[in-house]
Amino acid sequence: MREKFSSRREILREEPKIETQEEKEKREIEMIEKSPLFYQEKKDLVLSYLNEKPASWIDVSERYKQTEKNEDEILNQLELKRDEIRKILDKTGFVYEVEKFKIKERTMYNAGYNFIIARNSEDLSRLKRGLKRGDTKEIGLSIGYPETAVEAFINKKVLDYNKLPKEESKRLIKEKTSKFLDFRLSKNNWQEELNLVRRQQKLIEKKFPNFYKQITKYGLDKIIEKRLDLIEKLQKPSDKLKNLLNLIDESVFPENPLPVKIVKEIKSKYEERIPSAQHYFDEDNEKGKMLNEHYQVNEKINEEHYKLDDLAEISIHEVRHRVQHTLSIELFTRDNFKKFEEKYPSLKLLKEKLPEELSPNDFDACVVENLSSFLRKNSVSLSEISENIIDKNAEDVFKNIEILSKEKGFARIKYIKGLIFEICEKNLSQKKKI
């Protein structure tokens, strides 16, 4: 009987589960996904993990004032991040080296850790050697850039993003491919280089769909940021504003961007306010449709000085107006602000700062504009704002700000204490718009 019982127990005993390669990959990618790195750096690590990039070069750092009283706390937090990243790299089979740094920048310090990461010692040594020598070609090839793109960068034969065919540029933004593009394209081989980027994009989308969604939602859009650099070089504020409106409108409405016209004058419905731009359309009362819809830029803004950030705020404000007329979303109102104030008490100050005579649509656009300005001041890119703020419901705007605050490491909105409200007051006093 004993032998029978023993053999039955042997039969019932479960065999130890063997992890498949697919399960192992998924588990290890989830570790990278949950690491305290930015999404672009996470993407680079995933591509290295999949042997699509020989090596990666990333840093974990903070900039703070030299008079900062909490310097020890900042440095301790950086050490904790460093240790967490080390554990993840050890568990996922990477080889790496870490270097501590602290650089003085005028009144600021930039402190943290540089990581050189690869799948094998040979690739690690190659990147390390390139960085030590300042060898642009070796660095570029080591981090997985196509040789044609590296050579074009060295020989100054890169393709300006504004020279891409218009349909290709729209496709890059619409398909989110631009969020996977980390290098400058070459004039002669840009199609082949984009094919490589698209292949890597599809690989991540197929193997790790959840991680793909995060990259495409919160990752930096290189095309948009490069276009922003080109806009800043324009001379006239009206030309800058026209191009910014084009850029942001295309980001929010990639399938149907509106034309932008520079006009000699825009009439304001508010006294003593000079609109810099407006979302314009003629109403068809019989069919209930908008006709001749476009954006207008006031040529008179060339008589004043505008920073690029000021013009970006104006553009966000006007594109939000298009959102209001095009999409069915919950807007910010003085009434629904009560529920947001319970969680974010300082928002009450914003509501009090905005003039009572503002229409419901102008009130909503002002709120979105100023929240976006706050995010820009905390290193959130224009592409991230376009995707997560401008066309979202009031409730979702705050949810996305919470997510971005964790990703970027800035203070949660309930602690910002008046920053966005000072911006709002500045906008109104300078008679920019509304």
Residues 6+ apart with CB under 8 A from 50: 203, 204, 207
For residues 279 and 384, state if they share a domain. Answer: yes
Cα angle, residue 319 at apex, residues 314 and 325 outer, rounded to 5°: 135
For residues 248 and 365, state if they share a domain. Answer: yes
Does residue 434 lie in a domain region? Answer: no
164, 192, 224: which is the final residue of a domain? 224
Q: Are 251 and 385 within 8 A, CB to CB?
A: no
Number of Cβ within 10 Å of residue 182's Cβ equals 17
For residues 132 and 257, state if they share a domain. Answer: no
Residues 6+ apart with CB under 8 A from 285: none
Does residue 3 lie in a domain region? Answer: no
DSSP bridge pairs for 97: 116
DSSP state for residue 25 in the 8-state scheme: H
Does residue 395 lie in a domain region? Answer: yes
172, 204, 224: which is the final residue of a domain? 224
The predicted model scores a pTM of 0.61
Does residue 377 lie in a domain region? Answer: yes
> How confident is the model at residue 66, as a pLDDT?
77
Sign of CA dihedral 113, 119, 125, 126: negative
> How confident is the model at residue 224, as a pLDDT?
75
User: 208-237 burial by CB neighbour count: b if 16+ within 10 A, else e?
Assistant: beebbebbbebbbbbbbebbbeebeeeeeb
DSSP state for residue 415 in the 8-state scheme: G
For residues 90 and 237, state if they share a domain. Answer: no
For residues 162 and 279, state if they share a domain. Answer: no
DSSP string, 260-274: EEEES----SSTT--
For residues 138 and 175, state if they share a domain. Answer: yes
DSSP state for residue 55 in the 8-state scheme: E
For residues 217 and 330, state if they share a domain. Answer: no
The length of the chain is 434
For residues 159 and 234, state if they share a domain. Answer: no
Residues 6+ apart with CB under 8 A from 159: 152, 184, 185, 186, 187, 190
DSSP H stretches of helix in 102-208:
121-133, 136-142, 147-154, 166-174, 190-207
Q: Residue 420 and residue 118: Cα distance in Å, rounded?
A: 42
> If you count DSSP H runs as helices and E runs as strands, how many of each does the chain have, helices first?
19, 6
For residues 147 and 174, state if they share a domain. Answer: yes
Compute mean pLDDT per 10 residues along the chain, 434 residues long, and list them: 48 66 88 84 91 91 78 89 94 94 82 93 94 91 94 90 78 83 90 95 90 75 74 90 91 85 79 77 68 90 87 93 90 82 68 78 90 80 85 86 70 38 39 36
203, 224, 245: which is the final residue of a domain? 224
For residues 252 and 181, state if they share a domain. Answer: no
For residues 126 and 204, state if they share a domain. Answer: yes
Show the domain range for 425. Answer: 225-429
For residues 234 and 281, state if they share a domain. Answer: yes
Between helices 360-377 and 308-326, what is the axis angle to 10°? 140
Domain count for the chain, please give it. Answer: 2
Residues 6+ apart with CB under 8 A from 316: 248, 368, 369, 372, 385, 390
